[in-house]
Amino acid sequence: MADRLTAALEGYLAHLAVERGLAAHTLAAYRRDLTRYVAHLHARGRTEPAEITERDAEDYVLVLRTGSDGRAVLSPASAARSVVALRGWHRFLALDGLAPTDAAAELRPPAQPRRLPKAIGVDDVARLLDAAGLGDGPVPLRDRALLELVYSTGARISEAVGLDVDDLDLTPDRGAVRLLGKGGKERVVPVGSYAAQAVDAYLVRGRPALAAAGRGTPAIFLNTRGARLSRQSAWAVLRTAAERAGLAADHLSPHTLRHSFATHLLAGGADVRVVQELLGHASVATTQIYTLVTPDTMREVYAASHPRAR
């Protein structure tokens, strides 16, 4: 009788492989997670899918967190993955008529600890930006302009490389850029004077040389073939600049300057709702995580807060 649970599991894994086309390593992870769950069910006397209760599924989450079944205690991330596998199997059992209800329909993964965004100090940012502009020719001009703009506006790397020339206004003291964020949501963000100067220098002395190698594109940031710079290439720009600046490149990511932008604004007294708008966050709760890394009282005004605004 106990084999009916195992048979139901094998049926689900076959469904994932044939109907869903899951990769071999993903299937192996599902098998590992669900085999442990089946052992938990056997220990509770369950022999058929229809016998599994909501309490069985709920108690299993506790098992993952405590290791009370004699197996390894899973990290919150691994436990969450295991719960996703469990929910998928129960949904399959209910839809396939092997169980009267979905016993895991209300089950939620254990809460994962909130991770603080990685940010670097203002002095390190200055070193990074200086390092990006080292050398002669159009590429250093482009690299400095790219990183200055990302730090000045808090843009995602994908937003920055997606910019066209018409998205940018470098009018003195009123510089701004139109960014296209997640879900196609547009926002207009101020551009500080350091970034405006760097971008202007690139547009005048760097971009024309790069554009000459291409077929014409409205993109601001171009590669050496005259085409739009890719996200991967922009990430390489950051990594190279970090290495030149003597910073730990392995600890930097394409989001490092964005996180630093938000953290430094809040440290300078900017209101969290202003930073929310600048970052393009749908909810202020997403932005408030940055307040965990600065003790300063939050106030408004971008120009007075951003270390490179003027």
Residue range 17-63, pLDDT digits in tens = 988 888 888 899 999 999 999 999 999 999 999 999 999 999 998 89
290 part of the active site: yes
Hey, what are 99's tokens?
Answer: 């169980």
For the segment 228-233, the average pLDDT, to the nearest whole number, is 95
Question: CATH fold of 3-95, please?
Answer: DNA polymerase; domain 1 (1.10.150)
Return the residue matching tokens 């996703």: 84
Task: Reduce the DSSP state of residue 263 to 3 states and report it.
Answer: helix
CATH of 122-305, one of 1.25.40.20, 1.10.3720.10, 1.20.1530.20, 1.10.443.10: 1.10.443.10
Percent of the chain topping pLDDT 70: 91
Is beta strand 186-190 parallel, antiparallel or unpaired with respect to 176-180? antiparallel
Residues 200, 141 contacting (CB under 8 angstroms)? no
Secondary element (H or E) of residue 180: strand 176-180
Hey, what are 301's tokens?
Answer: 């005004």
Alpha-carbon distance of 300 to 199, in angstroms, equals: 26
pLDDT of residue 1: 41
pLDDT of residue 310: 65
pLDDT over 80 (residue 292):
no
281 part of the active site: yes
Catalytic residue among 178, 255, 273, 299: 255
pTM of the predicted model as reported, rounded to 2 decimal places:
0.61
pLDDT of residue 304: 63
Return the residue matching tokens 């599994």: 52
Residue ranges per structural domain of the chain = 3-95, 122-305
36 part of the active site: no
Residues 279, 258 contacting (CB under 8 angstroms)? yes
How far CA 203 is from CA of 29, 148, 207, 242, 272, in Å, comes to 50, 14, 5, 24, 33
Catalytic residue among 20, 44, 55, 182: 182
For the segment 276-280, the average pLDDT, to the nearest whole number, is 90
Higher-confidence residue of 226 and 66: namely 226
For the segment 156-179, the average pLDDT, to the nearest whole number, is 94
Angle, CA of 296, 302 and 308, to the nearest 5° = 90
pLDDT over 70 (residue 274):
yes
Please provide the average confidence, as pLDDT, over all residues in the chain: 88
The residues near 260 (Cβ < 8 Å, ≥ 6 apart) are 119, 120, 125, 151
The residues near 283 (Cβ < 8 Å, ≥ 6 apart) are 276
Confidence grade of residue 116 (pLDDT, cut at 50, 70, 90): low
Residues 250, 118 contacting (CB under 8 angstroms)? no
Residues 75-107: pLDDT tens digits? Answer: 877 888 899 999 999 999 999 999 999 999 988
Catalytic residue among 258, 259, 306, 308: 258
251 part of the active site: no
Return the residue matching tokens 């689900």: 12
C-alpha 157 chain-centroid distance: 11
How far CA 301 is from CA of 29, 171, 174, 268, in Å, comes to 49, 19, 14, 9
pLDDT of residue 245: 93
Residues 93, 60 contacting (CB under 8 angstroms)? no
Residues 185-215: pLDDT tens digits? Answer: 899 999 999 999 999 999 999 999 999 999 9
Task: Reduce the DSSP state of residue 129 to 3 states and report it.
Answer: helix
Alpha-carbon distance of 279 to 153, in angstroms, equals: 8
pLDDT of residue 115: 65
Confidence grade of residue 251 (pLDDT, cut at 50, 70, 90): confident
Catalytic residue among 281, 302, 306, 308: 281
306 part of the active site: no
Catalytic residue among 290, 302, 306, 308: 290
- Helical residues (DSSP H) of the chain, grouped into ranges: 3-18, 24-43, 54-66, 76-95, 122-132, 138-153, 157-161, 193-205, 207-211, 231-245, 256-267, 272-279, 284-287, 302-305
Sign of the dihedral defined by the CA atoms of residues 154, 159, 165, 166, in that order: negative
Is beta strand 176-180 parallel, antiparallel or unpaired with respect to 168-169? antiparallel
Hey, what are 149's tokens?
Answer: 């703009």
Catalytic residue among 87, 127, 156, 264: 156
DSSP string, 48-108: SGGG--HHHHHHHHHHHHH-TTSSPPPPHHHHHHHHHHHHHHHHHHHHTTSSSS-TTTT--
25 part of the active site: no
